[in-house]
Structure 1
Amino acid sequence: MPRRDLDDSRETGTVKWFNTSKGFGFISRDIGDDIFVHFRAIRGEGHRVLVEGQRVEFSVMQRDKGLQAEDVIVALPGQR
Protein backbone atom coordinates (compact mmCIF):
# COMPACT_ATOMS: atom_id res chain seq x y z
CA MET A 1 0.00 0.00 0.00
CA PRO A 2 1.69 3.27 -1.06
CA ARG A 3 2.31 5.81 1.66
CA ARG A 4 3.33 9.40 1.33
CA ASP A 5 3.72 12.04 4.03
CA LEU A 6 1.91 15.18 2.94
CA ASP A 7 3.83 17.30 5.39
CA ASP A 8 6.41 16.79 8.08
CA SER A 9 4.30 18.79 10.53
CA ARG A 10 1.63 17.26 12.73
CA GLU A 11 -2.00 18.31 12.94
CA THR A 12 -4.52 18.41 15.74
CA GLY A 13 -8.20 17.64 15.82
CA THR A 14 -11.13 16.17 17.73
CA VAL A 15 -12.45 12.63 17.44
CA LYS A 16 -15.79 12.91 15.60
CA TRP A 17 -16.70 9.23 16.13
CA PHE A 18 -14.94 5.92 16.54
CA ASN A 19 -16.51 2.46 16.21
CA THR A 20 -14.65 0.23 18.66
CA SER A 21 -16.04 -3.02 17.23
CA LYS A 22 -14.99 -2.15 13.66
CA GLY A 23 -11.80 -0.36 14.69
CA PHE A 24 -12.14 2.86 12.71
CA GLY A 25 -13.67 6.32 12.77
CA PHE A 26 -13.14 9.94 11.80
CA ILE A 27 -11.31 12.92 13.24
CA SER A 28 -12.49 16.51 12.71
CA ARG A 29 -9.28 18.30 11.77
CA ASP A 30 -8.66 21.77 13.18
CA ILE A 31 -7.76 22.75 9.62
CA GLY A 32 -9.27 20.93 6.66
CA ASP A 33 -11.83 18.21 6.12
CA ASP A 34 -12.57 15.25 8.38
CA ILE A 35 -10.02 12.47 8.12
CA PHE A 36 -10.28 8.67 8.42
CA VAL A 37 -8.51 6.91 11.29
CA HIS A 38 -7.92 3.16 11.74
CA PHE A 39 -7.09 1.57 15.10
CA ARG A 40 -3.65 0.51 13.80
CA ALA A 41 -2.76 4.21 13.42
CA ILE A 42 -3.28 4.88 17.14
CA ARG A 43 -0.02 4.92 19.08
CA GLY A 44 -0.07 2.63 22.10
CA GLU A 45 -0.25 -0.96 23.23
CA GLY A 46 -3.15 -3.31 23.81
CA HIS A 47 -6.68 -2.42 22.69
CA ARG A 48 -6.28 0.93 20.91
CA VAL A 49 -9.45 3.03 20.78
CA LEU A 50 -10.49 6.67 20.58
CA VAL A 51 -13.42 8.37 22.30
CA GLU A 52 -15.76 10.93 20.75
CA GLY A 53 -14.66 14.45 21.70
CA GLN A 54 -11.08 13.42 22.53
CA ARG A 55 -8.35 15.81 21.37
CA VAL A 56 -5.68 14.12 19.26
CA GLU A 57 -2.46 14.88 17.39
CA PHE A 58 -1.57 13.04 14.19
CA SER A 59 0.26 12.98 10.86
CA VAL A 60 -1.60 12.95 7.54
CA MET A 61 -0.83 10.29 4.94
CA GLN A 62 -2.10 9.84 1.40
CA ARG A 63 -3.35 6.26 0.94
CA ASP A 64 -5.00 4.41 -1.94
CA LYS A 65 -8.45 5.42 -0.68
CA GLY A 66 -7.56 9.00 0.29
CA LEU A 67 -6.19 10.85 3.28
CA GLN A 68 -5.74 8.97 6.54
CA ALA A 69 -4.54 9.91 10.02
CA GLU A 70 -1.35 8.11 11.12
CA ASP A 71 0.69 8.01 14.34
CA VAL A 72 -2.31 9.26 16.34
CA ILE A 73 -1.69 10.24 19.95
CA VAL A 74 -4.19 11.52 22.49
CA ALA A 75 -3.37 15.10 23.47
CA LEU A 76 -2.85 15.58 27.19
CA PRO A 77 -5.00 18.23 28.92
CA GLY A 78 -3.47 21.64 28.36
CA GLN A 79 -1.80 20.65 25.09
CA ARG A 80 -2.92 22.23 21.84
Structure 2
Amino acid sequence: MISDTLALTLFQEAVPAHVQGRIFSLKRALEQFTWPVSSLLTGLVAPAVLRADRFLVLSGLLSFVAVTAVTWWRFVRRPEH
Protein backbone atom coordinates (compact mmCIF):
# COMPACT_ATOMS: atom_id res chain seq x y z
CA MET A 1 0.00 0.00 0.00
CA ILE A 2 2.80 2.42 0.87
CA SER A 3 4.73 1.64 -2.31
CA ASP A 4 1.58 2.17 -4.39
CA THR A 5 1.06 5.58 -2.77
CA LEU A 6 4.66 6.55 -3.47
CA ALA A 7 4.46 5.35 -7.07
CA LEU A 8 1.18 7.22 -7.61
CA THR A 9 2.71 10.41 -6.23
CA LEU A 10 5.71 10.05 -8.53
CA PHE A 11 3.44 9.49 -11.53
CA GLN A 12 1.35 12.55 -10.66
CA GLU A 13 4.43 14.75 -10.40
CA ALA A 14 6.12 13.39 -13.53
CA VAL A 15 3.16 13.27 -15.93
CA PRO A 16 1.76 16.52 -17.36
CA ALA A 17 -1.78 17.25 -16.19
CA HIS A 18 -3.33 17.21 -19.66
CA VAL A 19 -2.32 13.55 -20.29
CA GLN A 20 -2.68 12.11 -16.78
CA GLY A 21 -6.01 10.44 -17.58
CA ARG A 22 -4.54 8.55 -20.52
CA ILE A 23 -1.38 7.56 -18.69
CA PHE A 24 -3.20 6.44 -15.54
CA SER A 25 -5.71 4.39 -17.52
CA LEU A 26 -2.84 2.67 -19.35
CA LYS A 27 -1.06 2.07 -16.03
CA ARG A 28 -4.22 0.58 -14.55
CA ALA A 29 -4.81 -1.68 -17.58
CA LEU A 30 -1.24 -2.99 -17.39
CA GLU A 31 -1.60 -3.62 -13.65
CA GLN A 32 -4.83 -5.54 -14.16
CA PHE A 33 -3.25 -7.65 -16.90
CA THR A 34 0.00 -8.44 -15.10
CA TRP A 35 -1.53 -9.30 -11.73
CA PRO A 36 -3.04 -12.68 -12.70
CA VAL A 37 -0.06 -13.48 -14.93
CA SER A 38 2.42 -12.85 -12.11
CA SER A 39 0.27 -14.85 -9.68
CA LEU A 40 0.22 -17.78 -12.07
CA LEU A 41 3.96 -17.66 -12.68
CA THR A 42 4.71 -17.32 -8.98
CA GLY A 43 2.51 -20.29 -8.20
CA LEU A 44 4.31 -22.41 -10.79
CA VAL A 45 7.88 -21.32 -10.10
CA ALA A 46 7.99 -20.72 -6.35
CA PRO A 47 7.55 -24.32 -5.14
CA ALA A 48 10.32 -25.49 -7.45
CA VAL A 49 12.73 -22.74 -6.38
CA LEU A 50 11.97 -21.88 -2.77
CA ARG A 51 10.38 -23.33 0.30
CA ALA A 52 7.38 -21.36 1.56
CA ASP A 53 9.18 -19.83 4.56
CA ARG A 54 12.12 -18.64 2.47
CA PHE A 55 9.77 -17.32 -0.19
CA LEU A 56 7.90 -15.18 2.36
CA VAL A 57 11.14 -13.78 3.77
CA LEU A 58 12.49 -13.06 0.29
CA SER A 59 9.30 -11.35 -0.86
CA GLY A 60 9.26 -9.22 2.30
CA LEU A 61 12.87 -8.18 1.73
CA LEU A 62 12.20 -7.35 -1.91
CA SER A 63 9.19 -5.23 -0.92
CA PHE A 64 11.30 -3.39 1.65
CA VAL A 65 14.05 -2.75 -0.90
CA ALA A 66 11.52 -1.49 -3.46
CA VAL A 67 9.87 0.92 -1.00
CA THR A 68 13.28 2.15 0.20
CA ALA A 69 14.50 2.68 -3.37
CA VAL A 70 11.39 4.63 -4.38
CA THR A 71 11.58 6.77 -1.25
CA TRP A 72 15.28 7.43 -1.77
CA TRP A 73 14.72 8.27 -5.46
CA ARG A 74 11.93 10.64 -4.50
CA PHE A 75 14.16 12.64 -2.17
CA VAL A 76 17.15 12.64 -4.53
CA ARG A 77 15.06 14.00 -7.42
CA ARG A 78 13.50 16.75 -5.30
CA PRO A 79 14.36 20.09 -6.92
CA GLU A 80 16.38 22.45 -4.79
CA HIS A 81 14.63 25.65 -3.77
**Structure holding more strand per residue:** 1
* Structure with more relative contact order (C-alpha pairs < 8 Å, separation 6 or more): 2
Q: Which has more radius of gyration?
A: 2
**Structure holding more helix per residue:** 2
TM-score normalised by the shorter chain: which range applies?
under 0.3
**TM-score scaled to structure 2, two decimals?**
0.20
